[in-house]
Amino acid sequence: MTDAQSSDAHGGDLAALAKGGRTSFLGFLLRLAARLPFLYIGGQYYGKEALGRYASALVVVELAAMLCTLGEKRGLAQRLSNHDDDPAPLIADGLFLAMLVGSVAALALWLVPAPMFPSGIYGELDRMLVLAIPPLAMTELLLAAQAYRFDVGATVRARAIVEPWTISIMAGAMVFVAPESGLSIAYLSSIYAAFFTAAWSFLRTYGIPRDWRPHPVRMAQLTLRGLPLAA
User: 156-180, pLDDT tens digit by residue?
Assistant: 899 888 999 999 999 999 988 888 8
Task: Over range 216-227, report the average pLDDT.
Answer: 79
Predicted TM-score of the model (pTM):
0.85
Tell which residue, 144, 146, 147, has the closest CA to residue 21.
Answer: 147
Q: Over the chain, what is the mean pLDDT?
A: 83
pLDDT for the residue numbered 25 = 58
Q: Is the pLDDT of residue 217 over 60?
A: yes
B/e letters for 47-64, b = 16+ CB within 10 Å, e = fewer, are eeebbebbeebbebbeeb
Q: What does the alpha-carbon distance between residue 129 and residue 123 come to, in Å, rounded to a whole number?
A: 11
| Complete DSSP assignment for 198-213 | HHHHHHHHH-SPTT--
One-letter identity of residue 216: P
Q: Which residues contact 197 (CB under 8 A, 6 or more apart)?
A: 154, 157, 158, 162
CA of residue 178 relative to chain centroid, distance: 25
pLDDT digits (tens, 9 = 90+) for 99-156: 999 999 999 999 999 999 988 888 888 899 999 999 999 999 999 999 888 888 898 8
Which of the two residues, 8 and 229, has the higher pLDDT score?
229
Q: Is the pLDDT of residue 6 over 60?
A: no
Q: Is the pLDDT of residue 9 over 80?
A: no
Q: Is the pLDDT of residue 50 over 80?
A: yes
What percentage of the chain has pLDDT greater than the value 90?
39
Q: Is the pLDDT of residue 33 over 80?
A: no
pLDDT for the residue numbered 31 = 67
What pLDDT band is residue 14 in, cutting at 50, 70 and 90?
Answer: very low
Q: What does the alpha-carbon distance between residue 88 and residue 67 come to, in Å, rounded to a whole number?
A: 22
Task: Over range 16-28, report the average pLDDT.
Answer: 52
What pLDDT band is residue 218 in, cutting at 50, 70 and 90?
Answer: confident
Three-state secondary-structure class, residue 178: coil
pLDDT for the residue numbered 45 = 86
Instruction: Map out the domains of the chain as residue ranges.
Output: 3-230
